[in-house]
Each structure stands twice: as structure tokens, then as C-alpha cells.
Amino acid sequence: MIFSKITSAKVIRDNIADAPKSGGVYKHFINKEGLKYLSGVDPTEQETADDGSTVYLLYIGLAKDIQYRLKWHLGIVNVSHSCIVHGTLSTLRLSYMSNHENINCLSEQEKLNEFLNKYVYMSYYETPDFKSIESSLISSHDLPLNIKDNKHSFVQTNKARRKEMKAAYKQLTSTSNGTKTVG
């Protein structure tokens, strides 16, 4: 299986219309500089990006529509307050934010977008068999940010941090001057 070139999130964001609308599997990577911001995230697998950067594999996911899934993870869609409250915020965005040293609230979506543009890379593989391929790839790679079917030692820490981040956001948005707000 041959994945697309490992390309920066910024380049993918700027050319999102070129991403396929078919199903497939995708990978998220981070460069060494960006890894410094993710507390305790310690990837072990590295590759070389299209621009020559050394990048570290963080996450593998599946998509019925690769273009839409990339939009979701890049914060082009589903980042509103309603999406956060109702659980339709990208789970990968939640993991990035929950483990980022300088992001303290789920409302800091623009800060995450800047981080992604500077340090994150992606590649994808088009296939109708995305479910079984994703499962196989997760079991054969060391992935600190995947949750489902992942045995990486960081999974429990990631789950706990994600839970704390969601609870803090819920608390922050549910009270305003001591009174309940409708969200």
C-alpha cells in the first residue's frame, strides 16, 4: 500500500479541494519542534516528509470521505461551541489540545489551527477497505494519540487528559456570573 506524500497540514489546508472524497486511511505526523509542545507524547516511529523534515507518527485513522475527514481534523468544519458540547469535535483535535502545553481550553481552536499549520503533517491512502486496513495498521504501529484498539502506554494518560479538558470546558461554558447559560 502506497500512501500519499507526507505533506504539511498548512499545504493540505490550502489545497483541501485536491484531497479525495473517497474512503481511505490517513496518518498524522509531527515534526520535532512541534513535539516539544505535546506533554508526555513520545512517538517512536519516524519518516521523512515531502519537504525533507523528519516527522514522527502520532495517529492513524479511517475515513469514508478523506477530504471531509481532513477538514474535520484541520478545524475547517465542526469546531463551534455546539460541536464541542455535543461531541462532534474531532477526537484527534481533542487529543492535540488536551496534551498541548499552551492550550488550556477547547475554545482555543484558532491556537490549535496555528499549531497544526506549523508542525503537523499528513498522508493518506485511498481504499474502500479502510476499516480492516486501519485496524491492521493500528495494531502494527506505535501510536501515542490513537485511543480505539491501541495498546500504546500513553492511551490512559491521553484519555484522562481529554476527559479533564472536556469537563473544564463544560464548567467554563455552563456558568456565567454564577448563573447557568444555555449552550
> Whole-model pTM above 0.75?
yes
CA atoms within 13 A on the CB side of 162: 19
The domain of 121 spans 7-129+139-175
Alpha-carbon span 29 to 54, nearest angstrom: 9
pLDDT string in tens for the chain (183-residue length): 899 999 999 999 999 999 999 999 999 999 999 999 999 999 999 999 999 999 999 999 999 999 999 999 999 999 988 888 888 899 999 999 999 999 999 999 999 999 999 999 999 999 999 999 999 999 999 999 999 889 899 999 999 999 999 999 988 888 754 544 444
Residue 1 belongs to some domain of the structure: no
Q: Which residue bears the cell 454564577?
A: 178
Residue 141: what pLDDT?
Answer: 95
Residue 165 belongs to some domain of the structure: yes
Residue 183 belongs to some domain of the structure: no
Residue 86: what pLDDT?
Answer: 86
Residue 154: what pLDDT?
Answer: 96
Look up residue 138 and give its three cell numbers: 493500528
Residue 180 belongs to some domain of the structure: no
Tell me the angle at which helices 91-99 and 109-119 cross, rounded to the nearest 10 degrees. Answer: 90
Residue 103 belongs to some domain of the structure: yes
Residue 134 belongs to some domain of the structure: no
The DSSP letter of residue 3 is P
Residue 154 belongs to some domain of the structure: yes
Residue 182 belongs to some domain of the structure: no
Q: How many domains does the chain have?
A: 1
The DSSP letter of residue 40 is T
